[in-house]
Structure 1
């Protein structure tokens, strides 16, 4: 049974919804109904949201599999914290104008670390 991963899924879902609302607000402000309307602000809001949508589910899936295979709570929490911190850091750094590049880079580093370490842990636990 999953007891830790759902916490991180919920914590990542909250900023995901905030990013979704940000896209809606940006579209309204810029009067763009569909797509990005070739508007830089709308495109940036959409890409900030999309980046979370592209990485968070895969990371959470890998972390859930680590937990289901019986990994200790410390490992699952470290993976979850890295993914959460990575997604928050990236969204904040990328979403700002001008970008805070170091936060964007730290965010991707933490996200990739969580995904890679979860993948390795899954391989080790499965073998």
Structure 2
């Protein structure tokens, strides 16, 4: 079975990661901060948004890919990919704001955790049901 869903979301999420990376680079350049954050709150937020994305997104994408390779329903993998993208966008927006509207951060985090939990459970369930 060809893998068709995961590459779409991997590409979209990679573009988002690239945009988050450019935001950090531009802030560092504008503030002339090569390493660390020198207490700059805006830069701290941008670094954390970028880092948090890098911490959660690859593992979630890997689980979605495993599901797709296991032959999971297309609606499941596409839904998980879409929710992951939405969750990461909400989280990035929320954490980027100062003062931070917690509803975006917490909703984005909850959606991301929901994707991770659902994908992990389904990844385990598919082989167990095949016995």
Q: CA deviation at 1:108?
A: 0.4
Instruction: Please name the residue that 2:107 is paired with.
Output: 106
Segments of 5+ residues of structure 2 without an aligned counterpart are: none
After TM superposition, give the deviation of residue 31 of structure 1 in Å. Answer: 1.3
Which residues in structure 2 correspond to 1:1-127 (within 5 Å)?
1-127=2-128
- How many residues in Structure 1 have an aligned counterpart in Structure 2? 127
Deviation above 6 Å: which 4+ runs of structure 1? none
Q: Return the offset for 1:35.
A: 2.1
- Calculate the TM-score normalised by the size of structure 2: 0.93
TM norm structure 1: 0.95
Structure 1 portions without partners, runs of 5+? none
Measured against aligned partners, the alpha-carbon deviations of 1:39-81 in whole angstroms (never above 9, x if no partner) come to 2222111001001000000000000000000001011111111
> What displacement does 1:106 show?
0.6
CA RMSD of aligned residues (A): 1.0
